[in-house]
Amino acid sequence: MAGRLAEHVEWGIPGALFAARRGDLVLIVDVLSFSTAVTEVIARGSVAFCYSPEALDAAGGRTAVAHRHDAAMLARRRNVGPGEFSLSPASLDAVPRGQRLAMTSLNGGRCVGAAADAPWVATGCLANRSAVAPRITTFPADGHAARCTIVPYGETCAGPFMAEQVGELPAANRGFVRPSIEDHLGAGAVVDALSTDVRRSVEAEAAAAVFERHRDRLESTLAGGASGCELVHRGFGDDVSVAARLDAHRVVAQRSVDDPRNSSRVIGVSGHA
């Protein structure tokens, strides 16, 4: 049917890159960190400038990027003190209204960078899925792309927690990305919120089924997954609680070029109510 939205789910950086090359709308989902953190920032009337690590280095590093955008840079470490902010969603509860924040992420940030050429790039999570869905459905009527690919990032199988469980991986496998329950849930939550007129791919149907199966116990499901277990183990159980708050915010964090200090290849994100 002409003008009818199609919805697809594709994993990780390759999924974001392929979707952008097809001219799809792209929604990045990284529930336990990046997407929820960006949504928390935008919900407080603030602005986020999101870089992949590679784009951050190419722009001169953390200090240069913060100066360029007149922004505070999120801390490298997740655990921060009073007045500091990080990719820990719970740390962003006290972000002042209007604060400009620059951030990078190994996972979601790289996906956003991979999708930079797409006609629309945004971040979604459990907290804003009911705001994201109607925004997506406006595009076919506006004459924009008629397909949206939701990109759950997954999780990199590396780091001290993983090594503690199973030992260090061989060097060739340290960057391997596995699917994650939290991002599958986040993608499925957005699909579930979309109109029934949307044409769903098989992958989108599967994600929606995962969400429907767990929607009444989101926090315990997130906490029980491998990534959630790691956060709880490291003392960041509050991040799991924040990420599990379904429909907590009515904002969409989407790419904006309104800031003159923002280059065309970097995703400056602003809110859309």
> Cα dist. 259→25, 70, 264 in Å?
21, 11, 10
Instruction: Classify residue 224: in a domain, yes or no.
Output: yes
Burial classification of residue 258, based on how many CB atoms lie within 10 Å of its CB (0-12 exposed, 13-18 middle, 19 or more buried): exposed
Rounded to an integer, what distance in angstroms lies between the CA atom of residue 20 and that of residue 22?
5
Domain-embedded: residue 255: no
55 part of a folded domain: yes
Q: Kind and range of the H or E element at 189?
A: helix 181-193
Residue 139 falls within a domain, yes or no? yes
Decide if 72 is inside a domain. yes
* Residues of the chain predicted below pLDDT 50: 1-2, 162, 169, 172-174, 258-273
Closest to 256 in 3D by CA, of 138, 122, 135, 151: 122
The per-residue pLDDT for 159 is 53
36, 127 contact by CB (below 8 A): yes
> Could you tell me the CATH number of the domain that includes residue 211?
3.90.1560.10
- Domain span at residue 42 reads 6-249
Query: Does some domain include residue 23?
Result: yes
Does any domain span residue 273?
no
How many distinct structural domains can be found in the chain?
1
- The answer as to whether 238 is a domain residue is yes
Helix, strand, coil percentages, rounded to 5, for the chain: 45, 20, 40
